[in-house]
Amino acid sequence: NAVKELHSLYILLSKEGEDMRFYSNQFLEQPSLELSCGRYQLMKNRIVGGEDARSGKWPWQASLYMGAHGHVCGASLISNRWLLSAAHCFRDSDSVRYSIPSGWRAYMGLHTITEKSNRVAMRSIKRIVVHPQYDHSISDYDIALLEMETPVFFSELVQPICLPSTSRVFVYGTVCYVTGWGAIKENSHLAKTLQEARVRIINRSVCNKLYDNLITSRMLCAGNLNGGVDACQGDSGGPLACMGKGNRWYLAGIVSWGEGCARRNRPGVYTKVTALYDWIRQTTS
């Protein structure tokens, strides 16, 4: 089945490439107004190599927990009240009612998946808004907004990512990062530490040839056509972040689906945020 959903957060990493790492002893508390987006608050300290993402490097990454099931999906913090994720994370199964907001908890500021610290923010979910045109059969409009019960306070570990407007284009070949606690190989367990993978945006016509014309204009492909780097099960709903103007990180995509994990000529498929920007703005305003 070409359209295989990724219902947990797994990320495959290549060991090549550079890894920017950051450190700081400061803990900055800001008012809950969104003063800036797409930046980390940490001082830079460069280390070459490595797979684990440094604590605080991706401060918009959230983990969505469902009761006893633990981590189910990823999400991105876009304001002090709203998270953005994939619609397919909230489809009910025979045994679990994923569509009920009260069952979910969002954790922000996490580095290891089981971390318990006073720097980790936890919020209950008040409302889940799945896109009205979401089509499970073809994974189209695979996007959902989650409103938190109470606003979250921004800190060095909790920051919103910037949303790219409709006119923004992420050109083919752009280097971006996908992050999450998903499996580090196909059919494997969740990663304990937040993972990051460096991927490139792939031409839509190329991707459509690889996936038999299943790629709609609400989808974006990214990866490495040789395989080895991808999002995987468990990373669903998490961010595909690309550097944009002003040295800020923008949310280009939401982990949606793919065939297997990091297979040759099977790039990851993401919900294209620019195509749904107007809906996001209308829903959150």
3-state secondary structure 152-187: CCCCCCCCCCECCCCCCCCCCCCEEEEEECCECCCC
Separation between Cα atoms, residue 26 and residue 38, nearest integer Å = 19
Residue 201 and residue 172 in contact, taking contact as beta carbons nearer than 8 Å:
yes
Which of the pair, 196 or 78, is modelled with greater confidence? Answer: 78
Task: Output the pLDDT for position 25.
Answer: 27
Proportion of the chain above pLDDT 90, given as a percent: 60
Residue 134 to residue 278: CA distance in whole angstroms: 15
State the pLDDT at residue 116. 73
Is residue 71 among the annotated active site residues?
no
pLDDT for residue 186: 65
According to the model, what pLDDT value does residue 54 have?
74
Q: Which of 79, 155, 236, 256 is catalytic?
A: 236
pLDDT in tens, 151-201: 999 999 999 999 999 999 999 999 999 999 886 666 667 888 898 889 999
What per-residue confidence (pLDDT) applies to 191? 82
| Average pLDDT value over all residues in the chain | 82
Least confident of 53-62, 121-130, 168-177, 221-230: 221-230
Retrieve residue 18's tokens.
């550079």
Contact predicate 271/98, CB 8 Å: no
Rounded Cα distance between 143 and 246, Å, is 27
Query: Identity (one letter) of the amino acid at 107?
Result: Y
Give me the catalytic one of 63, 79, 131, 142: 142
Under 8 Å between Cβ of 284 and 78 = yes
The residue that leads in pLDDT, 43 or 149, is 149
Whether 88 sits among the annotated catalytic residues: the reply is: yes
Among residues 88, 111, 155, 235, the one annotated as catalytic is 88
The answer to whether 6 and 256 are in contact (CB under 8 A) is yes
pLDDT of residue 13: 35
Burial 110-143 (b: 16+ CB within 10 A, else e): bbebebeeebbbebebeebbbbeebeeeebbbbb
**Stretch 236-261: mean pLDDT, rounded?**
91
Does 142 participate in catalysis according to the annotation? yes
pLDDT score at 22: 24
